Every structure is written in C-alpha cells, then in structure tokens.
Homo-oligomer: A and B are copies of this chain.
Amino acid sequence: MATQSSHSSYPSAAWRKAYRTGSRPDLRVPYREVRLSNGGTVPLYDTSGPYTDPEHTVDTRRGLPWLRENWIVQRGDTEEYTGRELRPEDDGLKIRHTVPRGAVATDDLRNLDAVFPGRARRPRRGHGGAAVTQLAYARRGETTAEMEYAALREGLDPAVVREEIAAGRAVLPVNVNHPEAEPMVIGKRFLVKVNANIGNSAVTSSIEEEVEKMTWATRWGADTVMDLSTGRNIHTTREWILRNSPVPIGTVPIYQALEKVDGRAEELSWDVYRDTVIEQCEQGVDYMTVHAGVLLRYVPLTARRKTGIVSRGGSIMAAWCLAHHQESFLYTHFAELCEILRAYDVTFSLGDGLRPGSIADANDEAQFAELRTLGELGRIAREHDVQTMIEGPGHVPMHKIKENVDLQQEICDEAPFYTLGPLTTDVAPGYDHITSGIGAAMIGWFGTAMLCYVTPKEHLGLPNRDDVRTGVITYKIAAHAADLAKGHEGAQAWDDALSDARFEFRWEDQFDLALDPETAREFHDETLPAEPAKTAHFCSMCGPRFCSMKISQDIRRDYGLSEAEIDAAMEEKSKEFAEHGNRVYLPLAD
C-alpha cells in the first residue's frame, strides 16, 4: 500500500499548517498560512488534512485520527452496533458465501494484503433510527461543533452556517461513521467548493493508486472526493479511502449494487440496493448520489436526443425501468431510503440521470422534467431531516447556463446545486477541463454551490496523477473566479496579495501565493533558471529594458517620494494640461 512518502508535504516550503481554535480546545480549524518574503502572511483555506501537518505522522495503514469522535459520542444520540457482515460480493467476488469480518475472499489473493489493518471499529447510527443529521440539529437551533468548525474555515459566524443548513440552502456532509472528516459546508452563501472524482474501473487502476489520488486531490484543494470505483475490491478500496480521508467522501451506490448482480441492470432490486446503501453508511460514506428522478415516462423524452442518456446511474435506472415497466425502486422506496440515511447523517446528492451529454441536448424536456422530480424528492428528504443537494449538468452552451441555476433554485427551494462543468462545447476532447472550466466558473457565479471537476481525460480515458492535479487546479480557478464575481468576503484579498507581489517583483511570493506554486516556479525557471532571477527587477517575458512593471514603478519613483506626493504632482500637471485647453494637437515647438 501507499507509504508515507507519497502523501506528505505542501507543494511549497512557504506554506505552513496553522490552526484557529474555536469554542472548545479540541475544535482546531486548519488553514494554510503563506509566509511572504516581506514578513507578511496570507491565510488560505486548506483541504489537505493532517498530511501537511509536520506534527502528524502519516501512516495510511493506521488511518487518520478520529477528529470528530468526541463530538459524536458526546451528543449521545447514536449507538454502536454490530454491522452487516462483509460478503465476497461486496468486493465484486463471485463466490457467494459470507466470510468473517476482516477476512477476505478466497478467489482474489491480491486482496489479502489490502484489507485495512487500522483501529477496529463498530458502526454507529442514530438510536432507534433517529435523525442525527446536521439538518435536524440546525432546525432545533443547535449549533454543532461541526457547524462551528465549518464556519471558522469560512471566516463566518457559526449562526450563518446553522441558519443556511436549517433552511435547506446548505449541507454539511459528515457521516457519523467518518469521524476522520474535517467538517465543511456547501451552499451558495459560502465559498464555492470543488469535488474530485477518483475510482478504479474494470479496465485499470489499483487500491493504492486510488488512496494516493485522494490525498493528491485534497493536497491541491479538492473539498470533497467521490469514489466512483466500479471493478473489483470496491468495498476494500472505499475502506482505505475513508479511513485516510480528511474530506467528505461521496459515492454512487448503484455502481456497487450493479457489481453484485454481475452487471445485469434488470436484476437490480431494492433489497440489493438497500443492503449496499447500509454497507456504505456503516463504512462512513458522507454523501450518496441517487438517481431517483429517472422516471419511466421521462425515458421516451431522451429517444430523439443527440446523445441519449450519458449518466451511468441514469442509464442503469432507465434500463431497469424499461425492463420491469415499473417506476424504479429508488423512487418507490425513497422514503425508506431517507429513513436509512438520516440515522447516519448521510447527505443526498440527487443525481441528474438525464443530464445532457451534448450541446444539442442542453436544457431539454427530459432534463427539466427530471429536475422537477428532484425538487419533489428533495422536499421529501428534508421532511425526513436528510440533508440534500441537487446535481446538475453536463454539456450546456454559455447562453443556456443561467437558466439551469435559476430553475434549479426555484424548483428545489434553493437546495445546494452541485454541477458537473458544464462543458460549453463538444469539440475539444483532451481539453474538457477547459471547455467545462468556462461553464463551471459561470455557473458558480450564478449560484452553484459545488463544482464537480472534469479532467483532461474526460471522454477519453481514466485520469492519472497529472490529470487529477490539472482538473483540481482548473476547478479551483473556476470556484475562486466565482467567489470573486459573487463578492464573497475576503476572496479578493488573495488576488490583491499576489498582484502586490507581482508589482513589487517579489517573484518567490508570486509563486507561493499561486494555486500551484510548483508549476509557476517550474515555468519561470524554464526561461530564467538562475536563482537571482527570482528577485530580479524585470520579468522573464520582456527582459530588463522592456518590463512594463519596471517602467511603471520608475514612473512612481521618479516623480516624488510618497504616493500622496506623486498624486499631487501629477494632478497639478494634469490641471496644467486642462488649462491649456485640452488641445489635441499641441504645437510640438513649445
């Protein structure tokens, strides 16, 4: 398995892990402090977890500390219990007998080493199925430690977080079985968040790679991670990811359920699905994508589409509906599903199974019909005290993006919108992080609460390490550009700090304030590799003679001592000009 070396350290020596302590000593909220060469510091939001804390010894075989254990236990509304037994089919194995907890199936020796060896754990749930959700607390007016933690990360009053959750306008996804997670909040009132997808598939990838992709994605700023594994070892991979993840983990349970019925959609049933959901609730999955809005009568609406149904979950459910001529079990058992999720505080991410897969299909009847059903299901979920997000597209040209947010906010009672891109054109496979980064920034500005990243490999293959970084950075750009456009408190301070460094030729500070200091440094060094160049008073683009920043500084310097004096002198000269009649063609002779 992955070892310490691959999960450690920030991408810059000038970044330092720091903490703000809240109302209780065990409520220590991490942030990233960027230390500047001029003695200043800039605090930035941090998602990298204990891995970047030098006080923490990284050991993925032990997992992360149980940060929230005391808070959960002290609330006294949950109980430990003996969970369901691990079965070979949980890991996609064909031999259908039960094995003792912690043991492994016999037909896959590779899996032997993979079973998570950390601290023994019994699953926890609300006493007698009681709602132990952040929504339930918020509605009772109780500010949980999790709410305070998330508020401090955003620099806001905890009451704001509580009120937004109570109103259903925000979610704080934290399963009571994922005590390792650092609480964060998703809602339009807060910083726009970014999700990174990881997950092996039947074609390629390993557990080790997936755990490392998770720590790698959060190192670059992913706020949540979805494990979309579909091949073997699904259960075990997820266990390793959860026990090592400082961010909320999302899944799409239907993927694993389908593995359990050997990939035959028509053999899916509520029983298999329910069992899978409970399995994942007990493991600690924080939010689950559920495509319960794919109704039988919507399927014909996709028949004339350019690209039909492109959501995996959506197409599985459509296939089931057609095979049985019934509404899907996700829809018919939705209330029962709510009762399960609320006992663990798992958040719904109501999936848009009929999202458009091409520019031609954007904002069509199938898409918006499903959205109306998601609005209806969201109300049912909230009646059960289950936190709920709504998923959105997909492929949408720029002029049709705003309608998506406006409709979703109206239909779904302002529930947090969680969108994939959208891609603003279909013609650039290999660059879909960019086609979708454009749409993501815009939809974030318009009110989307979380953006699901797209990597350069979208439509072509599975992302590798570099693709994950590129995807996360692109989406952090989109999210931050949206924060700026929304006028979010403090968002511009970061840009200002970097622009100051740029204007003052503090190259090292420019790199350290960048979303990706490694790449910034590397690109600069390609042109001017020598160390002194980083403090040189000119840019590597223009050379010493031409740098406009330099000339601009000279103008200031040559014209007086202080900025006030510059202004006064310049104003005087400017007045003189006006007194001369603002003449366009002054004789050059005078």
A residues at B contact (CB < 8 Å):
201-204, 230-231, 255, 258, 263, 265, 270, 295-297, 299-300, 302-304, 306-312, 314-316, 318-319, 322, 325-327, 329, 331-332, 334-335, 357-360, 397-399, 424-431, 433-435, 437-438, 441-442, 445, 456-457, 459-462, 464, 473-474, 476-478, 480-482, 484-487, 492, 494-496, 498-500, 502-503, 510-511, 513-516, 519-520, 522-524, 526-528, 539-549, 551-556, 558-559, 563, 566-567, 570-571, 573-574, 576-578, 582, 584-586, 588
Contacts and interface: CB of A to CB of B under 8 A. Distances in A.
A230 to B, nearest CB: 5
A456 B495 contact: no
B308 A523 contact: no
Nearest to A475: B434
Contacts of A312: 542, 546-548, 551
A584 B331 contact: yes
Contacts of A553: 308
A540 B203 contact: yes
A506 B493 CA distance: 48
16 contacts: A299-B574, A302-B552, A304-B563, A306-B496, A315-B555, A318-B552, A322-B558, A327-B577, A360-B496, A397-B484, A398-B482, A399-B445, A429-B514, A430-B516, A434-B477, A438-B478
Q: State the oligomeric state as a number of copies.
A: 2
A424 B481 contact: yes
Contacts of A456: 523
A54 to B, nearest CB: 25
A577 B551 CA distance: 73
A507 B424 CA distance: 21
Nearest to A335: B585
B485 A359 contact: no
Contacts of A514: 427-430
Given A398-B442, A441-B424, A573-B296, A546 B202 contact: yes
A296 B430 contact: no
A494 B549 CA distance: 42
Question: Max chain B CB contacts within 10 Å: which of A295, A304, A498, A586?
Answer: A498
| Most chain B CB neighbours (cut-off 10 Å) among A495, A500, A511 | A495
Contacts of A357: 499, 502-503, 549
A495 B358 contact: yes
A398 B398 CA distance: 13
A406 B296 CA distance: 46
B322 A555 contact: yes
Nearest to A201: B543
A462 B327 CA distance: 59
B524 A428 contact: no
A286 to B, nearest CB: 23
Contact of A427 (B265, B318, B480): B480
A582 B485 CA distance: 42
Most interface-central of A306, A548, A551, A571 (chain B CB within 10 A): A548
A359 B511 CA distance: 18
A265 B202 CA distance: 64
A314 B548 CA distance: 8
A309 B552 contact: yes
Given A428-B477, A511-B429, A555-B299, A230 B438 contact: no
A438 B435 contact: no
A299 B571 CA distance: 9
A582 B376 CA distance: 13
A582 B464 CA distance: 45
Contacts of A539: 459
Nearest to A397: B484
B563 A503 contact: no
A556 B431 contact: no
A304 B499 contact: no
A461 B523 contact: yes
A308 B157 CA distance: 36
A430 to B, nearest CB: 4
Contacts of A573: 296-297, 300, 325
A499 B429 contact: no
B322 A359 contact: no
A93 to B, nearest CB: 15
B503 A306 contact: yes
A231 B546 CA distance: 10
Contacts of A577: 295-297, 327
A98 B574 CA distance: 41
A555 B399 contact: no
Contacts of A303: 556, 563, 566-567, 570
Contact of A310 (B307, B325, B424, B552): B552
A573 B298 CA distance: 11
A506 to B, nearest CB: 13
A584 B481 contact: no
B461 A526 contact: yes
Nearest to A307: B503
Contacts of A555: 299, 308-309, 315, 318-319, 322
A540 to B, nearest CB: 4
A307 B203 CA distance: 50
Nearest to A578: B297
Contacts of A302: 552
B484 A431 contact: no
A240 B420 CA distance: 46
